[in-house]
Structure 1
Amino acid sequence: MESKMSRNQLLISAAVAALSILGAAVFLGSKDAEAGPPKQPERSDIESGAVLYTENCASCHGAKLEGEPDWRSPKDDGTLPAPPHDRTGHTWHHGDALLFNYTKLGGQAALAASGVTNFNSGMPGFAEQLSDQEIWDILAFIKSTWPDRMRETQEVRTEGEQIQGGS
């Protein structure tokens, strides 16, 4: 009983730490021009985003956006498994700038650009595989699967990033 409780406390602590670091990255905003996302296009192609998601993201984040099993528990190397992008995950807790940068630059580089250097992210960057428009299309597809309330919350987070970043 005690070891299960200790394990649960460790898992909760790890999840809180990870979310705190990601929150700090959002709060700190981008410290260099490269980390700032280009302006979101007026139109995104959700259907194209769905295809691109399947080709580039589903192998880690799941065909149904469900993420890897036990995604809140760190792996042996300290990285967290790929989280879900559906309503059960935390993707909708983050604004567009962080989501874009995480996708384009990779987790480690996106966090480092925001001044966070003590977190080990396993998310690779897709700058060489995807255009900016394709990244926006994937994000539009992911967001299209969320209930209205989650989309509205995520929009508020995006507005907060814009205020913090001055854009």
Structure 2
Amino acid sequence: MNQRYALCIVLIALAVLPLACGKKEEPAAPTSAAPASVAAPEPPVSIAALNRGAGLYQEHCAQCHGPEAQGHPDWQTPGVTAAPPLDGTGNDWKRSRAELVAAIRNGVKRDGAQVMPSWNGRLSDNEIDDIIAWFQALWPPEVYSQWRRKQATPKG
């Protein structure tokens, strides 16, 4: 097993452990309903989902995006079509969840040419969710926090 992959799994487990073992508090009575445009908090991702996502990523995505989601070295070179990183160092965190899902499901075209294949019909919605959960687990905490804040910002 890749050492970085193993380290990621251990770090994720350590991050999730306090959530599972933490003191349970009684929920406060709601004061008002949240606006429909604000994203609801996502439930914590399970270790099983991360393991599935890691395997699916290695099987379907690593060939282009790199085994550690580091992307192709030329991904920013003008005129070169190369897979970007998905580890939080590229533009992936600037995309909404819906945009990430759509890119995987429908593929990506640039100048009319297919530069990323469509995985529609080859990956289920749950498999796509697991892949996204895995590569988001690689994002630095400040990048993921910024992405979450952006997801919760009302569109208007």
TM over 0.5: yes
Structure 2 partner of 1:47: 51
Greater relative contact order, per chain length (Cα 8 Å cut-off, separation 6+)? 1
Query: Equivalences for 1:82-93 in 2 at 5 Å?
Result: 82-93=83-94
Greater share of strand: 2
Structure 1 partner of 2:145: 152
Q: CA RMSD in A?
A: 2.7
Matched-pair contact (CA < 8 Å) for 1:105–1:126: yes
Q: Deviation at 1:61?
A: 0.1
CA–CA separation in structure 1 for the residues paired with 2:145 and 2:112: 28
Query: Equivalences for 1:17-96 in 2 at 5 Å?
Result: 42=43, 45-75=49-79, 80-96=81-97
Structure 1 partner of 2:37: none
Matched-pair contact (CA < 8 Å) for 1:95–1:155: no
Give TM-score, length-normalised by structure 2: 0.63
Q: Deviation at 1:118?
A: 5.7
Give TM-score, length-normalised by structure 1: 0.59
Residue by residue over 1:30-80, the C-alpha shift from the partner in whole angstroms, topping out at 9 and shown as x without a partner, is xxxxxxxxxxx855611100000000000000001111121111446xxx3
Q: Deviation at 1:158?
A: 2.4
CA–CA separation in structure 2 for the residues paired with 1:81 and 1:121: 12
Matched-pair contact (CA < 8 Å) for 2:86–2:135: yes
Matched-pair contact (CA < 8 Å) for 1:49–1:138: yes
Query: If you compute each CA radius of gyration, which structure gives the higher value, 1 or 2?
Result: 2
Which amino acid is the alignment partner of residue 94 of structure 1?
A: R
- Displaced runs of 4 or more, over 2 A: 41-44, 117-121, 156-160
Give ranges in structure 1 of 5+ residues lacking alignment. 1-40, 109-116
CA–CA separation in structure 1 for the residues paired with 2:146 and 2:113: 27
Aligned length in residues: 114
Greater share of helix: 1
Structure 1 partner of 2:125: 132
Q: Deviation at 1:128?
A: 1.9
CA–CA separation in structure 2 for the residues paired with 1:49 and 1:84: 16
CA–CA separation in structure 2 for the residues paired with 1:71 and 1:58: 14
CA–CA separation in structure 2 for the residues paired with 1:124 and 1:93: 21
Among the aligned pairs, what percent are the same residue?
35
